[in-house]
Chain A
Amino acid sequence: MNVNQHTPMASPYGQPQPGYSQPGYVPLDGGYPGPYAPYNGPASPYQPGAPPQGISGPARGPPTTGPLPVSAPHQYNQYSHSQGDMQNGPPPMTQAQPRPPVSQPYNPGAMNMSGPHPTYPQHYGPPPTMQQVSNQMSGMQITSGPPTPAGPGYAPPHSSQPPVSTAYSAPPPPSYTQAPPPVSSAPTQPPPPSGPAASQQYYGSPPPPSQQPFNSSLPPTSQQQFTSSSVPPPPSQQTLPPSSYSGPAPPPGQAPAPPVSQPQQSFPPSQPPPTSQPAFTPGPPPTAPGSFTPQAPPPSSQSGSFPPPGPPPTSAPSCQYPGPLPPQQQPPPSQPFPYHSGPPPPRAQMPPTSMAQSNHLPPGPQGPPGPPGPLQQPPSQPGMQTGYPPQQNGAFGQVRGPQPGYAGPYPGQPNYGAPAPAPAPAPPAQKRLDPDAIPSPQASDMPAVQKSRHRIDPDAIPSPIQVIEDDKAKSTEPFTTGVRGQAPPLVTTNFQVKDQGNASPRFVRCTAYNMPCTADMAKQSQVPLAAVVKPLAMLPPDETPPYLVDHGEGGPIRCNRCKAYMCPYMQFIEGGRRFQCGFCSCVTEVPPHYFQHLDHTGKRVDCYDRPELSLGSYEFLATVDYCKNNKLPQPPAFIFLIDVSYNAVKSGMVNIVCQELKTLLDYLPRENPEMDSAVRVGFVTYNKVLHFYNVKSSLAQPQMLVVSDVSDMFVPLLDGFLVNVNESRLVIESLLDQIPEMFADTRETETVFGPVIQAGLEALKAADCAGKLFVFHTSLPIAEAPGKLKNREDKKLIGTDKEKSLFQPQVGFYNTLAKECVAQGCCVDLFLFPNQYVDVATLGVVPVSTGGSVYKYTYFQAQLDQERFLNDLRRDVQKLVGFDAVMRVRTSTGIRATDFFGSFFMSNTTDVELAGLDCDKAITVEFKHDDKLSEETGALMQCAVLYTSCSGQRRLRIHNMAVNCCSQLADLYRNCETDTIINFFSKYAFRGVLNNPTKAVRDTLVNQCAQILACYRKNCASPSSAGQLILPECMKLLPVYLNCVLKSDVLLPGADVSLDDRAYLRQLISCMDVTETHVFFYPRLLPLMKLESGSLPVAVRDSEERLSKGGVYLLETGLHLFLWVGASVQQELLLNIFGTPSFGQIDSSMTSLPVLDNPFSQRLREIIDSFRAQRSRYMKLMVVKQEDRAELIFRHFLVEDKSASGGASYVDFLCHMHKEIRQLLS
């Protein structure tokens, strides 16, 4: 059965279809997997299938889905595929050429069927060419059949097949092979109806139609099968794999197989037929980039070629291929490698599949071998790698196979040598580490060759993943904030918070929860004392937002001297008539209306009734005394300023913004969901001049008011500019409809920028309110106007002392403007759509100083980037935001807030002024001693933010935080939070580059880090040999994280990083909270080989070594989202994720995964969605295929590896750090 079940093959097709997805596409793919796996016989069926797919796919695909021609085709392919199979049999031979015609006929059919989709032709055009070509190219030899898919081919199926591939003829009793297809089609048909919702996007209605025609065209026999097949689907759905099998059951042979091995496995069996290989090989070539082709053609030769590549672990291409190829090339059974090793040659393919399943167990790439595989494999692997055998555990060999290709620096072997299997081996490694000491290089294990360079086992050094996982395991209870000095769980851990008197870590995180009592200690340890405050952070639904407290007309009760607000740290004395301030110890009378008796413990009786006496975070209602000009504020306004110059229009931005605003305006922030938002809106467009719009509700049509005098900006109208959305809805919609039209044929390329912000500012001034400007801008403002800029991008300056000037604004104009904006409470959010240098460093000045955000969509293309932009925009418009805010941090005597980092403006040394403060903005506050602290009282801080809510209410949000104080350094090191320290360091460094050479900044960081660690070593660690690196438990990740900071684009730019990108990142990070900086600097890399609902797979370390080329990985940085697909990934995975069986057919330009009705796809999409929901910015999904050019970008985020721009690998850096520490110690 396993071996040659053509029938099974067929059946799988059928089965999967019903089972996985209604659309039935999947099943088709399922069939393919076999073929896909280059290794086995299945190839034959596969090939035919593939080509047809390509051909027919494009034709049909285009029609259905405009945006994603690529994806569409695939799915179609499936359909066609099934057909193709059918047809292939028949026409294949004759019709290699006919394809084009074939495709056409399809279209018509599809067209008619799909009626609704008029767009077909358009899409059709472009994609077909691509795919067809490739398909043809690839498939020509093999798959003349596919073209045939056209109806005509049906009859002759058998005849055609033989020519295509011998394997085919032999294995498939024609009836079988055909049967499956029909089956598949049958199932597929059902799906269309049900599936439409999900699948429609891609398939749209077309699929069903297409199938029908097929059916009709199908031979009568097939139809019968259909009926039978159709029955199975239901069962299959329930239990995917098994059921599917059962479904296919019809083919008797299959039944047995399934039980033995999971469906995927079953597939492989079919493939095994060696005979098929020839056909097969061609298959892979097509998928593989050009480089592959050579290998593919001569399967026989490959064997020969293979060996050579094999030896050098470094050569990636060869390795990878070899992987797949070997199986095909039966020649050396031993070589087959780990994959094959386990199972018989035929299974060579299997392994990958099995790996997918098994992967879950082993986190790392190593996983692939999977439990079953690995066991068997070990032996075989050694053989495979020939050169490296000794060190490596066979099990992991495979993994490394790919690695060698990646990075020369790390020969795969050394790594392997280590306990490769991430899961299992890891634990032991940790044990070693726990003692805080990293065993110095484990040279001993390494093979001589490799030892030369690396002496440290990457798995032996502290693993972020391990730390994260440990913390997760540890934090099962809700975190209560009442205990002073207790460090909260890591940001990567999900936990619930109970506010018991200190602010939730979601609002405030500290670098140290045990502050040194004296300045000397602090200086000695060099541990930064800082807090990252995110005043308006959103809380999860199960935590209550801060209560609103109203102290009446007198305003909040405050300490007379230091003006700290009433909080749990206030000590009531004299029977409650007075209270002593916890910050300055001053005694203040309690106002009569606030008086309350004390209980026997000295607490107020109403302590727990009053949030301000019992909680860490709460809000006060501010009185008129807290308002500008002693006047209660007006509700804020949002002004949308849209660039309508040539570039903006051409990129589609204008159109998208206008369309989106029509709906978005209904979601303006409001406090009471029942009420309409009080926020008023206004619209401006601009190029070289500004166009204001009067959208007063009484107008039949909006009026455009052009202001060309940009040198002296003013607002041309008062009434009708800022309006209530509901009242002026019709006029606004009319306006938004007309804006794209009006400027559709503009030829104006110059833009202004300064006057645009001025205009918004003036409008807010005129309306006497605070507000937010949303500026959608495309290009460097070179038009004659205030704030005009010139292109100053000069890469030659990088690395010189003048580099810092590139981060500084080009002109002083924007600083002045920013100041004015802050004074008015005018927050600016900037959306950039540059095609070239726009000088983010300068344009970003105002947003950054006003608490706004900069969003950048370089080379914006409506189709690809629309989703990201719109999601960002939606979120940005809807998110909770406060205006005209002032933040003040008060501390208990002994320490003082001395420095602040973030997006804000400061006109003095204590008040942080934010024109706008949204729920994503964090401010990092650094503290310094100005006196001694006592262990008894600890250190208190109170962060008060005065702001205007989106409904126009003036409020104060108070966050209180108390930490312990210590006189022993060890206590300090025991209660640190590395993530927060990194947050501080990054902000500190990124601000430093404004004034210092980048290199100096990096050196400073390294030094400080070394000092911190050296201090620990010297004062806290138990004596040990100097050669040992000893890290404090809380900071054992400091080196790896710090290395990530040092390697960031800002501090160590690669050649391909533009100045704008660096400036953008620099500004962006300045207002990130700890969660964001953490994932930004150390991206989350999830293996996706096996997904379970309810929990995420355990992440793997950001290193190429951890990637298995048989796997699929999701990497998330908070800004980017990559889906990395290994070159030899299992077909089943591909089918589940992409709906295509072939690696080569994955469209790497897709920005969202196809909606497939299988649990894997669903779960994966769920995961992606949940990731996106966690981040303040929408992450565009990039599909990166191994060996693809885009992999360079992806690799940039594998931060444990050496970076292309010269950044050290984790291991190297750790060595370096060790050296520094030793120097300090000696």
Chain B
Amino acid sequence: MATFPEYIAQNEERDGVRFSWNVWPSSRLEATRMVVPVAALFTPLRERTDLPPIQYEPVLCSRATCRAVLNPLCQVDYRAKLWACNFCYQRNQFPPSYAGISEVNQPAELLPQFSTIEYVVQRGPQMPLVFLYVVDTCMEDEDLQALKESLQMSLSLLPPTALVGLITFGRMVQVHELGCEGISKSYVFRGTKDLNAKQLQEMLGLTKPAAAQGRGPQAAPQPLSNRFLQPVQKIDMNLTDLLGELQRDPWPVTQGKRPLRSLGVAMSIAVGLLECTFPNTGARIMTFIGGPATQGPGMVVGDELKTPIRSWHDIEKDNAKFMKKATKHYESLAIRASTNGHIIDIYACALDQTGLLEMKCCSNHTGGYMVMADSFNTSLFKQTFQRVFTKDVQGSFKMAFAATLEVKTSREIKVSGAIGPCVSLSAKGPCVSENEIGTGGTCQWKICGLDPATTLALYFEVVNQHNAPIPQGGRGAIQFVTQYQHSSGQRRIRVTTTARNWADAQTQIQSIAASFDQEAAAILMARLAVYRAETEEGPDVLRWLDRQLIRLFMFHLRRSPFLQVFNNSPDESSYYRHQFNRQDLTQALIMIQPVLYAYSFNGPPEPVLLDSSSILPDRILLMDTFFQILIYHGETVAQWRKAGYQDMAEYENFRHLLQAPVDDAQELLHTRFPMPRYIDTEHGGSQARFLLSKVNPSQTHNNMYAWGQESGAPILTDDVSLQVFMDHLKKLAVSSAA
């Protein structure tokens, strides 16, 4: 048997699953004592190029409460053509089509290497993809121009059959009718008045009788498109022109005021429009905003520039008067969208906050993207946006739509909840634990939008009683059934079945301990912490976290923007947390503990401690915090560079040295979504603060002489350093152990 790390890696590779414990304690009591719960990071659509789609439908357990999918862990009686469900032990007949089954002739789903398998459902119509652009027009012309270009570009990336729609907003909200000849037509709504789906439907003339109106004949035979959502191939030119003619919101903005931006209503209309035209169909609402909503439902700040947008300080003081109402508005939108399987993306590009805090649930609940940048005219936005439409080797989008994830468990274990970009479907069942962690109380979740990296944290509870024997078979099994709409329009079902051994904690504590996956556990705990931070008051979470088992990661976690709001705006916090909650383990690790590489003439690039001591004059540092890629030239290097040595032939090696981190950074930039902020700075540069704020302040102005001058750079902070933290931790550990 392989070592645990190998085993873990293999499991992750094959199934996209990483458990905090890879051997499970066999009783509830023991499990509780272990502090870190049995939990898994699950990446439902982990990219598997070797996974052939199965062109038939899965075989389900016939027990109504189970309905588990036939899997390699099931016991099969080839002679009787029976199989036993490994979750409920129900014996099931194979369907007639399996008549030819035998030990040598097994269907794919019974082969061990297909613990993850993907079925393609042939039934039902092929649903088109729907992309609805919701575009803010209250922005500088430059920004708007850049945005328009990006949008026009995106049209070429869409499959020709995809339906697109356009809503623009400023003081008013305009729903553009596409494909009209001559006069361009749009429906205008007041930005201050929310409309429910029915009203909207009437006003847009989308009700049945009104379908007869105007271009009635077209609308009727083509239920899949309407005046507002039309296939790209049909209105490509039209929409391109329309976007081209898009003007900055014409309403005058007097000095000292913010433009009136009806974001809340715009989103509401977008949600409503899809709700009444394409319910339960994969659809993506892409919202591009250049500033905060300043009027109507969902407004986060008034239009007076003299009142700044809320800060954490205001929130703590309960001074953010619009926040609660706005949050409520967006939450209701998120619920409506997710109910119908629609994704809401938010691309917020502004120097100030835009209200992501209030809107976060829209993305978080629907699996949409949240992108934050300073301007639409930055490569950060442009490339990130472009990357939304990346395609896999088959040429289909890497995005999937309207997915539901169902978790089935063995009897001894139940699912407590999930944390990630999902909403509960409130499906009760035998495998639902009473104990909720994250989004619990259900064994099914809806993930409206997901991509290969989307990762959910699932928390389980061992329910086996203390005195009960180790369950028969000795293994606990969990099956993840993910149904989703592939970007090709097909409905697909991916089934991952995994199992872990039980162990009696009293007798086999060693093996349990050995099976601990530190990284996974850290992320799982971090997610939990972040979840609680989002839903509860700040200090309590930290206290709770401190009381939990703490490791190295936790030090950084505590300092990370996920929990620490100091120095971060509410929007930034929301943004960071959003990313943290959906990225896979590797990325999440980077987020918590940035990676620092050092480049010098002393040797090949090497990872170095994220510590102030790593900052040396003759080094170039490359820091990857997931959100930022930072190249830091040490003092000496910077001087050299300034002197222009890199341009001299004899110092070619220096040029190479300078180039190396840049190349590495580019590589990172290319693979990551969303694209990180790329920072090139040097010793004493203003942007160096990003580095200095991340490293462990082993040297500060308080103790800089204690460690000697020669190494590292002092950090001007009052934060405790890792050493102090550890010291304290040790003390605590000793004292509290008793």
Contact = CB atoms under 8 A, between A and B. Distances in A.
B183 A742 contact: yes
A86 interface: no
Contact of A707 (B182, B187, B216): B187
Given A699-B245, A709-B193, A704 B213 contact: no
A716 interface: yes
A709 B190 contact: yes
Contacts of A693: 183
Nearest to A708: B203
A738 B202 contact: no
Interface in B212-227: 212-214, 216
A1168 B204 CA distance: 50
A701 interface: yes
A1173 interface: no
Nearest to A713: B190
A71 to B, nearest CB: 38
A705 interface: yes
Contacts of A748: 213
Residue in A700, A706, A720, A735 with the greatest tally of chain B CB atoms within 10 Å: A706
B184 interface: yes
Contacts of A813: none
B183 A712 contact: no
A702 B183 CA distance: 5
A448 interface: no
Contact of B186 (A704, A709, A742): A704
Residue in A692, A700, A734, A747 with the greatest tally of chain B CB atoms within 10 Å: A747
B174 interface: yes
Contact of A703 (B183, B212, B214): B183
Contacts of B251: 718
Nearest to B195: A709
Contacts of B452: none
B212 A706 contact: no
A1085 interface: no
Contacts of B252: 718
A716 B172 contact: yes
B463 interface: no
B193 A718 contact: no
A510 interface: no
B205 interface: yes
A718 B251 CA distance: 6
B200 to A, nearest CB: 9
Given A689-B203, A716-B174, A746-B214, A735 B183 contact: yes
Contact of A704 (B184, B204, B250): B184
Contacts of B213: 746-748
Contacts of B212: 747
A738 B182 CA distance: 8
A198 B202 CA distance: 54
B188 interface: yes
B188 A705 contact: yes
A704 B203 contact: no
A337 B251 CA distance: 82
Nearest to B174: A705
A1191 B187 CA distance: 51
A709 B203 contact: yes
Residue in A689, A692, A707, A708 with the greatest tally of chain B CB atoms within 10 Å: A708
B250 A738 contact: no
A749 to B, nearest CB: 10
B67 interface: no
Contacts of B445: none
Given A717-B250, A719-B250, A701 B214 contact: no
A763 B195 CA distance: 23
Q: How many interface residues does chain B have, given as a range?
A: 20 to 34
Contact of B183 (A704, A709, A716, A719): A704
B187 to A, nearest CB: 4
Interface in B145-204: 172, 174, 177, 182-190, 193, 195, 202-204
B243 to A, nearest CB: 13
A988 interface: no
Contacts of A700: 245
A738 B190 contact: no
Nearest to A731: B183
B216 A747 contact: yes
Interface string B529-557: 00000000000000000000000000000
Contact of B190 (A689, A701, A712): A712
Contacts of A857: none
B246 to A, nearest CB: 11
A168 to B, nearest CB: 63
Residue in B188, B205, B251 with the greatest tally of chain A CB atoms within 10 Å: B188
Interface string B361-385: 0000000000000000000000000
A701 B182 contact: yes
B183 A701 contact: yes
A34 B209 CA distance: 64
Contacts of A708: 187, 189, 202-205
Nearest to A690: B188
Nearest to A714: B190
A706 B188 contact: yes
B137 to A, nearest CB: 12
B214 A709 contact: no
A735 B172 CA distance: 23
Contacts of A706: 177, 185-188
A718 to B, nearest CB: 5
Nearest to B186: A705
A716 B214 contact: no
Contacts of A735: 183
Interface string B393-405: 0000000000000
A706 B183 CA distance: 12
A716 B182 contact: no
A967 to B, nearest CB: 65
Contacts of B190: 709, 712, 714
A741 B184 CA distance: 14
Contacts of B182: 701, 734, 738, 741-742
A689 B251 CA distance: 23
A717 B190 CA distance: 11
Nearest to A692: B188
A707 B188 contact: yes
Given A692-B188, A705-B186, A746-B213, A712 B193 contact: yes
B374 to A, nearest CB: 28
A34 B502 CA distance: 125
Interface in B230-266: 245, 250-252
Nearest to B250: A719
A748 to B, nearest CB: 6
A700 B238 CA distance: 13
Interface in A744-797: 746-748
A742 B182 CA distance: 10
A741 B185 CA distance: 14
Contacts of A691: 185
Interface string A624-663: 0000000000000000000000000000000000000000
A140 B212 CA distance: 52
A709 B262 CA distance: 16
A709 B184 CA distance: 19
B266 to A, nearest CB: 14
A746 B174 CA distance: 22
A719 B247 CA distance: 11
Given A709-B203, A717-B250, A701 B193 contact: no
23 contacts: A691-B185, A693-B183, A701-B183, A701-B184, A703-B186, A704-B184, A704-B186, A705-B186, A705-B187, A707-B188, A707-B189, A709-B193, A709-B203, A716-B188, A717-B188, A718-B252, A720-B250, A734-B182, A735-B183, A742-B183, A746-B214, A747-B212, A747-B213
Counting from the closest, the 4 A-B pairs by CB-CB distance are A708-B203, A716-B188, A719-B250, A706-B187
Given A708-B204, A742-B182, 5 more contacts: A689-B205, A705-B186, A717-B250, A738-B182, A746-B214
Interface of B: 172, 174, 177, 182-190, 193, 195, 202-205, 212-214, 216, 245, 250-252
